[in-house]
Amino acid sequence: MDKLMHDVSNMNGITPVNVQQYLYEKTKTNLNITNIRKIMHRYNMTPKHHTVIHVNRASKEEVSSWQSSLKKRISRLENRGCTVFVQDESIFVHDVIQSRVKWSLRGSTMVVPYTGSHKRLVMYGAISENNKQFIRTHSKFNTDSFVKFTLDLHQHFGKVAVIIYKAPQHRSDMVRNMLADNRDIEIIYLLTGSPQLNATEELWHRAKRDLMVSQHYPTFADLRCAVSEYFRTMRHHLDIKKYLFRNMEESLTNF
C-alpha cells in the first residue's frame, strides 16, 4: 500500500474516485469512498483549490529583474508627484450565477431564479497604493473605452502612471497618441502571464464573490445598481506594492 500511495501522491489533481479506480486496478480491492478519503488523509493528502498558471508565464528570473526595474521606476515617478495605479478590466454578466454551497434547512431546496439574460457590464478599475479606488462602467472593452477611462483617471488625479496588461486594446495607435498628447500619463506594462502581480484581480474576485454567488437580479438595471453601490461604498484596502513585488513561490501559493 505504501508504494501505491506514494505513486498516487505524485499524481497532480486527483480525486478519491481516481484513487479508488487506481487501487482497484492494482490490487483488485474495491474500497468505498469514505475509506479512500481516510487513506488519502493518512498519506498527507488534502483537498485543494487548483492554482491557475498562465502557459506563457514569466520565469522567476524574469519576474525578479522586472520587479527590480519597476521599484526604481516607481520611486522616480513618486518623486515627480505621480500617483501609481494598477488597472484591469472585468465583465459582470447578468444572470450567470456562480454556485457555491450555502446553508439552508435540512430537507429544503435552495432555489435561485434564472432568466437566461446574458447582458454584460464591463468594469474598468484602478487602485493606488494609498487606497484610492477609481471604478467606471463601459458598454464595451475596446481601445476607445480604455483611453476614455485613462483620461478620466488623469483628470481626477493629475499625474498618473498606470500598470496594465499587454492587451491589444492597451497598445494601439490611439493609446500611443494619447500618451504623446498627455505627458502626465505614463503606462507600464505588466509581465506576460503574471496576473498574480495585479491587485485589481483580487478586487474583481472579491466583488464577484460578494455580488454574484447564488444571487439573482431580476433585471440588468438591478445588477448595474448593485455593482455601482458596491464599489461606491466598499474599500478592500489592497496593498498594490505587496502584489507587485511578491515572490514567485508566494504568488503561486496564494493566488
Give tens-digit pLDDT for 144-188: 999 999 999 999 999 999 999 999 999 999 999 999 999 999 999
pLDDT for 155 equals 96
- Rounded distance between C-alpha atoms, residue 174 and residue 98, angstroms: 36
Output the CATH code of domain 60-254: 3.30.420.10
The residue ranges of the chain whose pLDDT is under 50 are 251-253, 255
- Rounded distance between C-alpha atoms, residue 86 and residue 213, angstroms: 26
In this structure, the number of other CB atoms found within 10 A of the CB of residue 122 comes to 16
Strands 160-164, 83-93: pairing is: parallel
| Single pTM value for the model | 0.72
pLDDT for 255 equals 45
pLDDT for 4 equals 73
Q: What share of the chain is helix, strand, coil (3-state, %, to 5)?
A: 45, 15, 40
pLDDT for 161 equals 96
- Rounded distance between C-alpha atoms, residue 214 and residue 97, angstroms: 6
- Rounded distance between C-alpha atoms, residue 218 and residue 112, angstroms: 11
pLDDT for 59 equals 80
Q: Grid coordinates representing 75? A: 520611486
- Rounded distance between C-alpha atoms, residue 12 and residue 79, angstroms: 47
Domain boundary assignment for the chain: 2-42, 60-254
pLDDT for 100 equals 53
